[in-house]
A and B are shown apart, each in its own frame.
Chain A
């Protein structure tokens, strides 16, 4: 889940207080009947970012994207792109292009005409249009398909044409609605990296909507997690994964073990949390001081728990259990361990050895252990 370091350093304007956001969404609300599709959302996206809106279906991410494109007018709030208030501009006057989930290629035009469509609307000279179309088709490696009609292309090829068409007008902002949703798994993985490469080459700001967390983590500089019309957390993929802000985020992004407990004291930089369901005390590095008696959840990722043979001598951060279930996934195995107090804990181990020679099997007694930086204390 780690990002290449180069991009992190190049693009971290959100940490720079003086940096000016390129796209600003300020207090935007949109209702459909009685439901709040987007509920008082504010968001800053910086120039050159690959920004992802991530959430389950009905969380409002698509509505927010369509507000940016101009297809939906918000009930409240303003949208600024490059310093200009575009809230009331119709889609055809916005410096924004969108790649549709269904690609929305014009079926009565060939690939070339599809890509040229936006340029011709601008009144660009035909020689220039031709050059630009050729450039765009080369960018997405579709140069040999200029005369084909959309129904003569495969799903992956259509996706490329849609990308070329949406980039042809050199928009200030490109919106992508589930850009890889219609591709099969293998092609999707390959296209994710390619999309990032294209984005770095053209330097356009991308905002994408996805429900696929792996896709969001692979491609994005930053991710916004949405739930029930609100943005719950905005950060880099690594920060969201390692330091989720709420139980919902922790649970939505990857899998997590949640230990419910209460704060019983402070020991150095750590909080001591008593967890009756797990049957042990947890000592977890604190992000903020919490008073004794506060009800909290401790989120620990399955890969941050280790299985050891003998119980350590400390009185915290370990517990005994019995292997209840094993899910062998090839590269890793997930062990479901039932603790003596009854809670089931997921532990993920990398299969460094051949499957047949691994020692653990069903009903084995094991000891689970973790360090104080393995978990995050959550109050909401």
Chain B
């Protein structure tokens, strides 16, 4: 140990330093990577959801006026350097006081709820069948379920007009067969709205149900049969409770967009099937009352957020059982 090996010592020094820098670099890179991964969707949400929502919220507290833009500003500079903020709650009061709006909300909920129920009753057997077929068939059937999405939503609703019209395909066929004397009034009724909503949103019901049913352990049904349970009882005691997360997901995916649906009731619904989406449209484009339209939108959002939160709760409760 008399002569110190300087080159070797320097080599170790630099190698150690290099490694430390490498570790530090990876650390920073990791943190930055995480920030980017979280940040991009956060930015998207902020830019395209939070910011527009804040603008809508702001408009909902203003007053309508004949100007460009057609509403008053919330704040103004008063004499003596005061900043005055005027919050107009009359729009929200009107929503509560005028039967029209409350009626539209309740009607929206009713139509969305009934449509969701029918979508579930139709979608569950469909999903059950798809989940129980062979893998190759399952993929084919799922493709068929998604296939209508390749056509424009609007065109598919127009196609239903052609089917349900008094001179449409269904009525013509029934008349030709002699089953009816005069055309059935189907178009411009709630019935047509239900058909339109169920038809359009059925895939959103079927897909989460298939996902849940496919994941279910089939030996559980064997165990139930082994313990003396007939197939129908086994369905209600085992399959149905275990597919609850899928049912909840499917129902919300249908219910939430159905509440705010505008195109379907407008094209297929009658004059008395007033849904909130249509009311909003009227206030905005016909009456040109932006503040009132904005408050309708905010109230509708509140309506939708409540079931979403409920859904989250159900999911949370189901999660430990799913493990």
Contacts and interface: CB of A to CB of B under 8 A. Distances in A.
A108 B241 CA distance: 7
12 contacts: A69-B222, A71-B225, A91-B222, A91-B225, A92-B226, A98-B222, A106-B223, A106-B238, A107-B322, A117-B229, A118-B228, A149-B321
Nearest to B218: A104
B167 interface: no
A121 B241 contact: no
Contacts of A63: none
A97 B226 contact: yes
B220 interface: yes
B230 A92 contact: yes
B227 A169 contact: yes
B233 interface: yes
A104 B238 CA distance: 12
Contacts of A121: 227-229, 233
A107 B320 CA distance: 9
Interface of A: 69-71, 90-93, 96-98, 100, 102, 104-108, 117-118, 121-122, 149, 151, 165-166, 169
B227 A117 contact: yes
Interface of B: 217, 219-220, 222-230, 233, 237-238, 241-242, 320-323
Contact of A151 (B220, B229, B323): B323
Nearest to B242: A108
B321 A69 contact: no
A107 B227 contact: no
Contacts of A98: 222-223, 226
A91 B238 contact: no
Nearest to B241: A108
Contacts of B241: 108
Contact of A107 (B228, B230, B237, B242): B242
A69 B229 contact: no
A92 B238 contact: no
The 6 closest A-B pairs by CB, nearest first: A118-B227, A104-B223, A121-B228, A91-B225, A104-B219, A92-B225
A282 to B, nearest CB: 50
The residue among A71, A93, A106 with the most chain B CB atoms within 10 A of its own CB is A106
A108 B225 contact: no
A50 to B, nearest CB: 20
Given A121-B227, A165-B227, A169-B227, A151 B321 contact: yes
Contacts of A105: 223
A165 B220 CA distance: 13
Contacts of A117: 224, 227, 229, 237
A106 B220 contact: yes
Contacts of B220: 104, 106-107
B246 to A, nearest CB: 14
A14 B217 CA distance: 39
Contacts of B322: 107
B227 A97 contact: yes
Given A96-B226, A102-B217, A105-B223, 10 more contacts: A69-B222, A98-B226, A100-B219, A104-B223, A107-B242, A107-B322, A108-B321, A117-B224, A165-B227, A169-B228
